[in-house]
Amino acid sequence: MRVRPIHVDPRTHEISVVTADSPGRQKHCVIGGIVFDELLELLDNRGIRFVGPGEPYDISLVAMSEFNGAIIDYDEPFIISDHRDSGSLMWSLRKHIQQDNVIGVLTASTLRDADNQNAHWFDDTYQGELIRAAFEERLIGHVETSPPEPYVPPEVIEKKVRISFSYGHGGMQRPLYNTKPDFKAPRGTDVYFAGTTCYGRLTPTLHRWACVKELKEFSKHANTEVLVSPYRNVELADYRRRLMDTKIVVAPWGYGERTFREWEGLLSGCIVVRADTSWAKTWPDINETYQGLACRPDFADLGTVLQSALAEWDTYEEYREHVWDLLRNLREPGETAAHLADAFHYFGEML
């Protein structure tokens, strides 16, 4: 199967083929944060070849950030790559996913129940509605919500959406895959959160500040070492050093339900606590690792979850190492290429 990665000019809607010299090449042909260069030969060996200008091709690949309705006017098949770590389909995807020439969508995350794509949403996401419901009338008052438009039949989503891989495969995480933590070593920080707290949307901002508030309350009443950096103002080297000395990382949702903090915490040998996200699916699908470690979207029970996890910290050693090994093994280029090739071959059968 020959895949042509393309760029679409936002003004003229002209298509150009993405090459090694294309400006912003990573933005155009990246999936889930991993550059294709290390996968190209492996994908070629599995029957998926990325072609350049003037070469014959079977299907085009376009990044979601480049996608617009003008593409629908071209009478040829497309795969759309949406590397946001959010399972909620954007309006532009919802509008066009049923078109015959949109063969499929590669996403970093999806909703486990496809019909939740048509459930009531707030702030344009499924998790936004979960946050709103958790805070109902207590902070933001009652808000009428409605299902997103247009309606997309669940069977269409199940047929056309395939998971690529998540932020856990990104370049920022690369050093963490290369250094296996000492899972027996003592750790000086009990709980740590560092991250953005001000977003362009209400619900992630509300969600994250509730997390900060509950963490500060927890630190007052528990005999624990809690670090909170709510403005992402930590040097990278210091951040990684702190992670390796932390027992529990709290990873609230951002624009999407999966975040860098979650993967960085797991790869640093930490326990990760975050709002229940069992309704979402990624690759690898690690939701089963969070049994007993998930809290409410408003973090009202965060203190209880943290207290329980800290009390049982010594029992998590095998679990922490198992998760690290799982993520590390699936990050191997061969495993990643095999997973991605399966998705492309699936779409190829639909041509």
DSSP output for 162-213: EE---GGGSGGGHHHHSS---TTS--SEEEEEE-----SSHHHHHHHHHHHH
Cross-strand partners of 80: 62, 105
Residue with tokens 């003008």: 70
pLDDT at position 124: 87
**Cα dihedral: 92, 55, 171, 198 (round 10):** -20
Amino acid, res. 125: T
Instruction: Note the pLDDT tens digit of each residue in 35-85.
Output: 567 788 899 999 999 898 999 999 999 877 666 555 666 778 999 888 777
Question: What three-state secondary structure class fits 351?
Answer: coil
Question: What is the biggest distance separating any 2 CA atoms in the chain, rounded to whole angstroms?
Answer: 66
Q: What is the CA radius of gyration of the chain?
A: 21
Burial of 202 (0-12, 13-18, 19+ CB in 10 A): middle
The whole-number pLDDT of residue 260 equals 86
Q: State the Cα–Cα distance between residues 55 and 39, nearest whole angstrom.
A: 20
Rounded-to-integer distance, Cα 183 and Cα 162, Å: 34
Q: CA-CA distances (angstroms) from residue 258 to 30, 124, 213? A: 18, 16, 21
**Cβ atoms within 10 A of the Cβ of 7, count?**
21
First to last CA, the chain: 10
Could you give the angle at the alpha carbon of 348 between the alpha carbons of 110 and 36, nearest 5°?
A: 65
One-letter amino acid identity for 183? F
Q: How do strand 78-82 and strand 49-50 relate by DSSP bridges?
A: unpaired
Other Cβ atoms less than 10 A from the Cβ of 115: the count is 13
pTM for the whole structure? 0.91
Q: Which two three-digit tokens encode residue 261? A: 């903090």
- The segments of the chain whose pLDDT lies below 70 read 20-36, 65-73, 137-141, 167, 169-172, 288
3-state secondary structure of 268: coil
CB 109 within 8 A of CB 281: yes
Q: What's the confidence (pLDDT) of residue 208?
A: 96
If you count them, how many residues does the chain have? 351
**What structural domains does the chain harbor?**
2-163+332-348 (no CATH), 171-330 (3.40.50.2000)
